[in-house]
Amino acid sequence: MATWRLRRAAAAIAASSAVVAAGAAWPSASASDPFPAALEAARRRVAQPGAAPPPRAAQRAALAGSTPADPLDVLVVGGGATGCGVALDAATRGLRVGLVEREDFSSGTSSRSTKLIHGDESVELFPTLAKNSHDRSLRGTVVYYDGQMNDSRLNVGLACTAAVVGAAILNYAEVVSLIKDESGERIIGARIRDTLSGKEFDAFAKVVVNAAGPFCDSVRKMANNDVVPMISPSSGVHIVLPDYYSPDGMGLIVPKTKDGRVVFMLPWLGRTVAGTTDSSTAITMLPEPHEDEIQFILDAICDYLNVQVRRSDVLSAWSGIRPLAMDPSAKNTESISRDHVVFEDYPGLITITGGKWTTYRSMAEDAVNAAIRSGNLKPANGCVTDHLHILGGYGWDPASFTVLAQNYKRMKRTYGGKIIPGAMDSAVSKHLSHAYGTLATQVASIAQNEGLGKRLAHGYPFLEAEVAYCARHEYCESAVDFIARRCRLAFLDTDAAGRALPRIIEILALERKWDKARQKLELQKGKDFLETFKSSKNAQFRDGKHNGQ
């Protein structure tokens, strides 16, 4: 098994990926844990039946309700992995916290990772393998176990968990400017524009934490326009291929390609994800992969397989921007450190950048510690997030999907309007369990009781009920929010995502009271978004393996 489809095994590692559900990551509180009382209090709030974040309007009101005389302790700018990690960490320390994200949670780099925690450091354990990458005397491979995740689902889970424990979080809330005190010597808040309503308001805080990822320099310039940029953006491109390119539970890592990079080929959500590149890029909201980057990945993996991987097999391709900290002496992004940096180059403004998903929690802890020092804040306790589950995690186990399969039906509405029952099959129940943890029962209940049990796309386990659930409980404000970050259809298969858009918009329109003009706009935005994912129109693998819904 370790030598599956390997032709040049001397330069490859077969990696078995242990999939980690977004809701199940850490142990419960015990007397030996630091701050057990604080941890137990947070656990009770997260684990209580029916726990759900407050509605968006309440979150906006909480942010707008801050004043210079009664400020937040911490205002976080950025709703990616690090920003949501900071909000959760600070809120569980008893601090008054707000977070604003100008797009959607995980709309940037945090949803465009390799989905690993974290493979490439493991190559350092095998220096001989990397050193002798072209030595054909090695006839075997090394198998090791690593963590795999659904990055945007975890990010959204962090955001919602932070909201449940008291943070006021708001997506589609852009920082227009930073507010300084009367002396002009300290940041005391931010002017915010709610991009859904177009209205602006001020949010005041003792400390602002800049966790804007690739855009952190633009936030720093709001405090001091002469600040020296410190972000060196790097583009990382990934492609998605059919599942037959990777065996179930087993991936492939090439520790050193011809130009010295690491390439992964991993099973993910029923498909195969391959990547990545590492090249300097411009900072944009919607980075797009270039054809030569896609071809580089195809060429790299073809060197190690005994089958030809075709361009027509690419179901989806995307680019993410790594916010690497600038090293003035570096000539290329490969040599720049991936470690995170926390600093305060203007009083009241803490910036954190660099790092990766693997270290987001410790990064957040470092940023909150810096904020406490900067603002002389008075937390009720220290950090507890290393032992805290996110929403849906308490009570979850790998067999939880069987409860869904046994107790729920998928009630499906036919084109004629008739409701017919369908089985909660194992593919759907496993997907719901892994995506929502114990909260999957709420999604299954919607599928059963509201006639939303139909699959959104042939060959994929995503249900209509998920659209309604995410609109009600996960701040899903657009069709793109759903196809890209609540379910991952845009990343898995752009053609399937495009075909699902009209039904997704129809359900969201009922939840959000959209008129026909808004629905038309959502459809166009969805199509435009999918155009940034460079798939090929592959008729041979159009709908996955399954024929029915």
Q: Of the candidates 155, 170, 165, 160, which has an alpha carbon nearest to the alpha carbon of residue 57?
A: 170
Under the banding of pLDDT at 50, 70 and 90, the label for residue 252 is confident
Under the banding of pLDDT at 50, 70 and 90, the label for residue 347 is very high
CATH 3.50.50.60 fits 151-230+327-375, yes or no: yes
Residue 335, pLDDT above cutoff 70: no
CATH 1.10.8.870 fits 399-532, yes or no: yes
Q: What is the pTM of this model?
A: 0.88
User: Do β-strands 200-210 and 349-353 pair in parallel, antiparallel, or remain unpaired?
Assistant: parallel
Residue 105, pLDDT above cutoff 60: yes
User: What's the pLDDT score for residue 549?
Assistant: 42
Q: What is the pLDDT of residues 484-524, one digit of tens each?
A: 999 999 999 999 999 999 999 999 999 999 999 999 999 99
Q: Of the candidates 187, 189, 188, 192, which has an alpha carbon nearest to the alpha carbon of residue 176?
A: 192
Rounded Cα gap, residues 46 and 40, in angstroms = 10
DSSP assignment of 363-420: HHHHHHHHHHHHHT---SS---GGG---TT-TT--TTTHHHHHHH-EEEEE-TTS-EE
SS3 state at 5: coil
User: What's the pLDDT score for residue 331?
Assistant: 55
- The architecture CATH gives domain 232-324: 2-Layer Sandwich (3.30)
Per-domain boundaries in the chain: 71-113, 151-230+327-375, 232-324, 399-532
Residue 390, pLDDT above cutoff 50: yes
pLDDT, mean of residues 390-395:
96
Q: What is the pLDDT of residues 505-515, one digit of tens each?
A: 999 999 999 99
User: What's the pLDDT score for residue 333?
Assistant: 54
pLDDT, mean of residues 158-179:
99
Residue 266, pLDDT above cutoff 60: yes
Under the banding of pLDDT at 50, 70 and 90, the label for residue 265 is very high
